[in-house]
Structure 1
């Protein structure tokens, strides 16, 4: 019985963290906004599995919100500071508005 309790206590926080990450990702896909890229940067960290690189953009929405958005490398290279962007519900990344 004590091993069952230990297993639940050990795996409970991991399951909770994974659930929170899944909900955040699902909400990010449903977001919609238009705005302008005001900054962009790449951050990297070295961990157990090697170097991890994150491409980030700061977007000021037309409503005045400041968003820090993690994007893939293709989106990062396609958009620059000053570009107008639009993010539609269901799309993973913002794209240049045209």
Structure 2
């Protein structure tokens, strides 16, 4: 019985963290906006497996929101400062506006 309690207490916090990460990702995918790229930079961090780079973009939406988003390297290379972008619900990253 006590092993079950210990198991539940150790798995509970992990499950909560995973649920928070999943809900954040779902919110990002459901988000929609149009705007302009205001900045690009690579952020790095050092973890267990060494340094890791994160491609980041600053976007000012047409509604005036300032966003800092992480994008994949392909999106990072395809968009520059001043580009108009659109992010539709269901898409992971914004794309250049047509």
Q: CA deviation at 1:46?
A: 1.9
For 2:65 and 2:35, locate their aligned partners in 1 and report how far apart those are by CA, in whole Å. 9
For 1:68 and 1:14, locate their aligned partners in 2 and report how far apart those are by CA, in whole Å. 27
CA RMSD of aligned residues (A): 1.0
For 1:46 and 1:38, locate their aligned partners in 2 and report how far apart those are by CA, in whole Å. 26
| Residue number in structure 2 paired with 1:67 | 67
For 1:55 and 1:39, locate their aligned partners in 2 and report how far apart those are by CA, in whole Å. 11
1:11 and 2:5 aligned: no
| Residue number in structure 2 paired with 1:24 | 24
1:78 and 2:78 aligned: yes
TM-score (normalizing by structure 2) = 0.93
Q: Where in structure 1 do 4 or more consecutive aligned residues deviate above 3 Å?
A: none
TM-score (normalizing by structure 1) = 0.93
Measured against aligned partners, the alpha-carbon deviations of 1:40-79 in whole angstroms (never above 9, x if no partner) come to 1111112112332211111000000011111000000111
For 1:12 and 1:96, locate their aligned partners in 2 and report how far apart those are by CA, in whole Å. 42
Structure 1: 5+ residue stretches without partners: none
| Matched positions, count | 98
